[in-house]
Amino acid sequence: MKNGILVASALAAVLSLSATAGAQAAGDNEKCFGIAKAGKNDCQTATHSCAGTSTTDAAGDSWIYVPKGTCEKVVGGSLEPKA
């Protein structure tokens, strides 16, 4: 239970950072696949047309911007789309 709370807190922190990432240059950020909550993805994928349209949590093709070097530290995060 304690690990679940820790992971959830880390994910919440990353997601809150991504809310401000849209205003920053993409050069300071990286796309992180597989961690976006439903409806919180940053942009288009093969299965939906635009930001905020992901229908499932942690969809492998949905991404959000996170600060460079952060994605691979998040459980489930990937710099490449997942099948």
Q: What is the pLDDT of residues 14-66, one digit of tens each?
A: 555 544 444 455 689 999 998 988 888 777 666 666 777 777 888 888 888 99
- The pTM for the full model equals 0.60
Alpha helices in the chain (DSSP H): 2-21
Q: What is the pLDDT of residues 52-83, one digit of tens each?
A: 777 788 888 888 899 999 999 999 999 998 87
Task: State the CB neighbour count (10 A cutoff) for residue 62.
Answer: 32
Tokens 């905020």: give the residue.
Answer: 52
d(CA 49, CA 37): 16
Greater pLDDT, 2 or 26 = 26
